[in-house]
Structure 1
Amino acid sequence: MTKENQNRRISKGWQLTASITSIFIIIALGFTLIFAPAAIEKGTNQINAHPPYPISQEASRLHQQLTVADLHADSLLWNRDLSQQENYGHVDLPRLQQGNVAIQTFAVPTKSPRGQNYSRNESDAPDGITMLAMIQAWPPATWNSLYQRALYQSGKLHKLEQSNPEDLKIIRNQSDLGMVLTARQQGSQQVAALLALEGAHAFEGNLDNLEGLYEAGYRMIGLHHFFDNRLGGSLHGVSGSRLSLFGRRALARMEALNMIVDLAHSSESVVDEVLKLAKRPVVISHTGILGTCDSPRNISDNLIQRIAEKGGLIGIGFWDAICDTSPEGIVNTLRYAIDLVGEDHIALGSDFDGGTKVSLDASELAVLTELMIRKGFSETEIRKVMGENVQKFLMKHLPEEKTEA
């Protein structure tokens, strides 16, 4: 064999090896894109194993008469098709309908530090959502832009609405919500979907982006998530600081647009200052109550009372911010919260699909009605806490019609 032929054969061998390697890389990448997102979520959004919860006829009948509302679920972060029922995660349209949910807030996180904890997170810590966006094959524009991540998740909800118009409607104003509630009185199972941003770091320091988010359908803005941002300190950040000048400007612009301000994850200093500055009631979409669960995740009972005194809402969570995550633990926290601030200011704020381990999913909410009946809640208390308070709040504080951004 000539040296030229030998070199040609070696070259072909390398080409074959490279081709086979490329094929294996493509197969591995495809396997990752297909199976990894589900595997990640199954290990993240968990449900404590339990037998079916017994629901009495009395509780079932009352539950079907309720306007059930939840102030916080992070379901848009994941790659599940929310029009289909799955055996993992916490929320999809079939399960919302089985739980008789009339109003579901879809919260959108855009950054979450790896190794996040309730006590202290650096704002420049490596971000876990970046890798999740890549693994889930989100558009490259979302890999480095928090604003684009917010727009992308909003787009997912709009596509869900377009594909399932009889089952879901995004509510942008009071009229939208009124149409859904009227349809439900006539037998529809349509869900009113409220878009909420979890953390104003997605503004990327530009209030023009707030207006872009309004145009994308967002009507509730959480000022913070697990770290400090340009608006001020997070409850789990480093500074504990008050609102910055940019934060005050952002608050004023949100209120001008009739956007609801959410103080979940904000530092106590920020909560205190917002309560002094805000002209409209605010919410804490998902929390525990410090008086029942001594956790750095929860702000003081005094601040909770001040939010209620200003006409606000407090959404009680279903995960470890309430310490006891059983259905009975949720109901006990609801009882404490009602006794603390009154029946008109308490709501559900599940934190479904928020990287949480809970004891029920959206299809099982009737167990809360069951337990409230057993524990002697009045029917009025049950109706208000399970959703009427949220309904009334949104009908009062959403834009009446389209507000120009």
Structure 2
Amino acid sequence: MKKVLIFLVILFVIYLIGINTVPSYVESSRNPVKIESPYEVSPEAQELYNRLDFISDLHCDALLWGRDLTKRGDRGHVDFPRMREAHVSLEMFTIVSKSPAGQNMQENSEDTFDNITPLTIMKGESPMNWFSLINRTLSQAQALEGFVTKEDGKAILVKSKADLENLLEKRKSDPAVIGAMLGIEGAHALEGNLENLKAVYEAGIRMIGPTHFFDNELGGSAHGESGDGLSEFGKQVVKRMNELGIFIDLAHASPAIVEDVLELSTKPVIVSHTGVRAILDSQRNLSDEQIQKIAENGGIIGIAFFDMAVGTPELPNIIASIKHVRDLVGIEYVALGSDYDGSVAVPFDITGLPLIVEGLMKEGFTEAEIRAVMGENVKNFFLKNLN
């Protein structure tokens, strides 16, 4: 018995050490920044950036890593202090509940070992989250709500048009007030239960991607094995999302799901973080035909910042991707969708957003167009479509 107790104590000590070291090590290795801050741009670009009164990003996975987002981090890409430093008004924080080991852009099996399970355990989360995707999802949503509450009025969880209008009004007198929204990467988080859609809605989630890196009960992923469109369950989920007022995110959907959603949905869609095939011919990127159909739907397209979406060097390709969407369908359909903290290497963290403005200026974008890309399009989209 004494040996058993000693063994259990040793295991517990190892676990405590792991909680304090493993998540930060994993995050640091999975979310590098290629160029460290501070970032410098021309005086003209900085002046224009400083004039922007609404800056927004459609995709960030910072909730996954267990950092306190109210504190400025020394790793990763986004937290509340860095949002304020970058004058960012609104960030979409997306929840990752499952990710296949060895994930790649080409093909992943639904049954591959899940990377998020050991991370969940080593973060010291409740055992209730260890093997439950819906519990992991709701826990991350609660974490963001806790961070917002901790800010004592300096942050707003945007769940409705009224919340967004409140954010806009408060920022007129206090630009330090920031907004946060919640999304989900992959509806496998629903565990095949339509009732869970109401649960995540009540937790504040307002955007869900049908699939992430693998096929699930709703249908095929752009990186899955089947290439399927929406299943019958998937169609039920899309209809219910429309009823509740949850936006459909097509960022990782198979081409067949993109077609099915655009045909079935009565509401505009979001592509929260993507590239375009005209710049980088990848199966996770949008074709010109898809871009045109999304624009016809009244949707919005967030351009990602990492090499597997835009190619290298990233910054000029980000600008080229934005320009391509503008030239194809109009400036009002394109936005920023960084994929910050999403297990990707990025050229700069959120405080480097002035580099985007400088790049757009060099390509001849007008101030009105730059304002649109940097956040006005997102603001207008949500003002028009949030319940």
Q: Taking structure 2 as the reference length, what is the TM-score of the superposition?
A: 0.96
* Distance in structure 2 (CA, Å) of the matches to 1:19 and 1:154: 37
Contact preservation (8 Å) 1:194, 1:218: yes
CA distance in 1, matches of 2:124, 2:9: 19
The yes-or-no answer on 1:353 pairing with 2:341 is: yes
Q: Which residue of 367, 379, 389 corresponds with 2:367?
A: 379
In the other structure, the counterpart of 1:326 is 314
Inter-partner Cα distance in structure 2 for 1:50 and 1:103? 23
DSSP-derived class of the 1:47 partner = coil
Q: CA separation in 2, counterparts of 1:25 and 1:111?
A: 26
- Of 357, 370, 383 in structure 2, the residue corresponding to residue 395 of structure 1 is 383
Q: Provide closer, same or farther for how the CA distance between residues 51 and 254 of structure 1 changes in structure 2, counting only shifts above 3 A.
A: closer
Partners of 2:96 and 2:103 lie apart in 1 by: 13
Going from structure 1 to structure 2, the CA distance change for 1:135 and 1:325 (only over 3 Å counts) comes to farther
Aligned-pair distance for 1:329?
2.6
What is the one-letter code of the residue matched to 2:184?
L
Number of residue-to-residue matches in the alignment: 385
Q: In structure 2, what is the Cα distance between the partners aligned to 1:283 and 1:137?
A: 33
Aligned to 1:88: 75
- Corresponding residue of 2:23: 37
8 A Cα contact 1:199 1:221, kept in partner: yes
| 1:162 equivalent in alignment to 2:135 | no
Q: Deviations over 1:32-81 (max 9, x none)?
A: 11111101100001100357432233222221232111000001001111
Give the whole-Å Cα distance in 2 for the aligned partners of 1:260 and 1:188.
Answer: 27
Q: Is the 8 A contact 2:61 2:93 kept in 1?
A: yes
How far is 1:23 from its partner? 4.5
Give the corresponding residue for 1:141: 128
Task: Assess if the C-alpha contact under 8 Å between 1:108 and 1:196 holds in 2.
Answer: yes
1:248-306: CA deviation from partner (whole Å, max 9, x where unpaired): 11111100111111111000001011111111110110001011001222132211211
Offset from partner CA, 1:164-220 (integer Å, 9 cap, x none)? 133321111001001111111213321111100111111111111000111000111
* 1:226 lines up with 2:209 in the alignment: no
Indicate conservation of the 8 Å contact 1:327/1:360, yes or no: no
**For structure 2, which runs of at least 5 residues remain unmatched after alignment?**
none
The sequence identity of aligned pairs, in percent, is: 41
Secondary structure in 2 aligned to 1:358? coil
Find the aligned partners of 1:374 and 1:40 in 2 and give their Cα distance: 37
Structure 1 position 150, deviation (Å) = 0.8
What is the TM-score when the length of structure 1 is the normalising length?
0.92
CA gap of 1:52–1:163, structure 2 versus 1, over 3 A, is: closer
After superposition, the Cα gap between the structure-2 partners of 1:302 and 1:28, relative to the gap in structure 1 and judged at 3 Å, is same
Matched, 1:122 2:105: no
SS in 1 for 2:145: helix
Cα deviation, 1:119-157, whole Å, max 9, x if unaligned, reads: 111111111111110111111111111111110000100
Once the two structures are TM-superposed, the CA of residue 31 in structure 1 deviates from its matched residue by: 1.2
By how many angstroms is 1:345 displaced? 0.1
Task: Tell me the equivalent position of 2:285.
Answer: 298
Which residue number in structure 1 is paired with residue 92 of structure 2?
105
Residue 257 (structure 1) aligned with residue 244 (structure 2): yes
Q: How far apart, CA to CA, are the structure 1 residues paired with 2:187 and 2:7? A: 43
- Which residue of 56, 61, 67 maps to 1:69? 56
5+ residue gaps, structure 1: 1-13, 400-405
Tell me which amino acid in the other structure corresponds to 2:231.
S
Structure 2 counterpart of 1:195, from 173, 182, 187? 182
Give 3-state SS (helix, strand or coil) of 1:344's partner.
Answer: helix
- Pairing partner for 1:59 from 27, 45, 65: 45
- Alpha carbons 1:319, 1:325 under 8 Å: kept: no
> In structure 2, what residue type is equivalent to 1:62?
L
Instruction: Check whether the contact 2:76–2:341 (CA below 8 A) recurs between aligned residues.
Output: yes
Q: SS where residue 36 of structure 1 aligns?
A: helix
In 1, the alpha carbon distance for the partners of 2:73 and 2:192 equals 38
CA distance in 2, matches of 1:326, 1:241: 31
- Superposed displacement of residue 234, structure 1: 0.7
Mapped partners of 1:25, 1:260: distance in 2? 44
